Chain A
Amino acid sequence: MTGSERDIRDRTWIVRLQAGDESALGELFRAYYSELVSFARRYVSSPDLALDVLQDVFTGLWLQRQDVRITATVASYLYGAVRHRCLNIRRHERLAERWVVEQESIMAEIPSVVLPNVDTLELSEAIEYAVSQLPPRAQEIFRMCRENGLSHQEVATTLGISVNAVAVTMTRALRALHESLRDWL
């Protein structure tokens, strides 16, 4: 389903849950469960903690259902809420802060990566390695687009940056990956 079809479906659930229909909350949860868990796990490593974050986000959504204002898509609202809580947890835990670049700057040119010389590396593994070597901000944006299937606009809204910043970062990241992985493609 396309982004806009998905949002239409999501909004029907939002309307129902605002009217007090708890099953709509369950359906929304079920639809987003695995992608939000894997998204949260990129920020907080413990799987139990990632599940707790989801519990908090959806409980919060239910308790504030009358007051919540979803201006962009429901997906970007959910991703934004999950990310926000995860970053709070990271700050709380005082782990290495890799995601704090909150300003609107456009990423500088991204250098290509030298892959370990392992002959048996499959393309998917090589891609995963190269993506993991992207600078943190670019990696965050790239994964949200490619792995979570969010549109540029949704990523922009979730992160609070411009669509242009997302587009430029995506172009630079894809190009850097292509450069690094030419031998595999």
Chain B
Amino acid sequence: MTPHTDSSSDWAQITRYVSGEATPDERQSLEQWVRHNPGRQALLEQANRLWTTRPQPTYAEAGDVDHQIARLSARIRSTRETELRVPRTPWRVWAPVALACTVLLLVAGDRLLRSGKPYVPIRSVATSEYKVYTTRPGQRATVELIDGTRVHINVGSTLEVPRNFGHSSRTVRLLGHAAFDVSARNNTPFIVDAAGTQTTVLGTEFSVRAYTSDVRVAVRSGKVSVGACGGLSAPRQPMDGCQSQSSRVTVAARGGALVTPAGNVSHDTRADVARDLAFTSGRLLLNGASLGEMIDDLNRWYDADIRVTDKAVRELRLGGWLSSGDLEEFMQYLTGALPVRVQREGRVVIVSPL
């Protein structure tokens, strides 16, 4: 039996009370009003519960505040040195030129201020037909395409953008893992070709993971259509679209799709959008996966060669998340979380039971 009140002035008071806006007098008068009627007491409790019940924080919160403060310091220092006031040209005017520069700058900023590793720009190759962006293991980048679509490229991946992108078609090819924040253009669907699959969207945010021919798609917002082109044995097919698509699946927000090497497309009942998009915030989510399952991902994330020979150790479960850091941090995490011994020689990390 739920109490009911139609009075909007009652609700105004309840809202002020619950949100902390009420003055001490107002609080007293509301409390008195409530005391005279137990139904009102329940109502106030419900309103309070509505106000105070919060979800668990998502992966996107918190983050490295110290790093951001260091970045702020550096910016202030550099602006002090260059007293010139340069008029700001809207970037759209320079888009074709700025694209390459933007990518390098973004990665430069990332690398300079993070780990002590030497700065290595991501590979950006222009041929007469494509622009190709390649990240190495341990390296991520964000590329903004000419239509405003943002692509976050994860570690060890390659994105190919044809020269005529954005005119009559918007198709890109991916090897590896990327997240897409697609600009809505109703007449031109955005298509991602990856390991023989095609993911088609109008405007949305999603991730495609195709390091091997097992492809995984996860959708944060909007809808995508995922199809497999018959015959995945020819990865260098021309990018003019899959003519024969054996199966298609439509995926909505918070869902996902899986495509097997054989080309079977199905809904991913264990889709975890947060896990597949975590890299855009510089995190690798572990979520209870076993060390053995995560080795390939960890090698790509850290640019390392992790070796675990003991079967029992491979099956140990990992929790929480890792951020882009160096291998030392990861080794500390491992020895803190699992009963293991860790030895390192350059890129090679050997994990053995205690």
Contact = CB atoms under 8 A, between A and B. Distances in A.
Given A93-B183, A185-B50, A55 B68 contact: yes
B76 A127 contact: no
Contacts of B183: 93-95
B53 A59 contact: no
A45 interface: yes
Given A62-B76, A170-B15, A26 B8 contact: no
Interface in A109-161: 123-125, 127-128, 145-147, 151-152
Nearest to B148: A93
Contact of A33 (B49, B65, B280): B65
Interface stretch (A68-76, A78-86, A100-108, A174-182): A174-182
Interface string B9-47: 001101110111100000000000000000000000011
A112 B144 CA distance: 39
A178 B50 contact: yes
Contact of B62 (A34, A168, A171, A185): A34
A124 B50 contact: no
A171 B11 contact: yes
Interface string A40-75: 010001111001001100110011000000000000
Interface residues of A, number: 47
A125 B55 contact: yes
Nearest to B45: A185
Given A46-B280, A146-B51, A151-B21, A51 B148 contact: no
B340 interface: no
Given A146-B19, A174-B47, A124 B68 contact: no
A21 interface: no
Interface in B52-107: 53-56, 60-63, 65, 68-69, 71-73, 75-76, 79, 90-92, 106
B50 A29 contact: no
B268 interface: no
Nearest to A25: B72
B49 to A, nearest CB: 6
B68 A174 contact: no
Contact of A128 (B8, B55, B280): B55
A34 B61 contact: yes
Given A46-B152, A124-B55, A174 B73 contact: no
B184 A30 contact: no
Interface residues of B, number: 49
B50 A127 contact: yes
A96 interface: yes
A14 B181 CA distance: 37
A167 B21 contact: yes
A59 to B, nearest CB: 5
Contacts of B68: 29, 33, 51, 54-55
A108 to B, nearest CB: 13
A171 B15 contact: yes
Most chain-A CB neighbours within 10 Å: which of B20, B79, B92? B20
B50 A174 contact: yes
A65 B168 CA distance: 48
Contacts of A59: 72, 75-76, 79
Q: Give the 9 A-B CB pairs with smallest separation, nearest first.
A: A124-B55, A185-B46, A171-B15, A47-B281, A171-B12, A33-B65, A174-B15, A175-B11, A93-B148
22 contacts: A29-B65, A29-B69, A29-B72, A34-B63, A37-B61, A46-B152, A46-B280, A47-B280, A48-B142, A48-B280, A55-B68, A55-B71, A55-B72, A59-B72, A92-B90, A92-B92, A93-B183, A123-B53, A127-B55, A146-B51, A174-B47, A178-B47
Given A45-B181, A174-B50, 19 more contacts: A25-B72, A33-B68, A34-B61, A46-B280, A48-B280, A54-B68, A59-B79, A62-B76, A92-B90, A94-B183, A124-B55, A124-B56, A127-B55, A174-B15, A175-B8, A175-B11, A178-B46, A181-B50, A185-B50
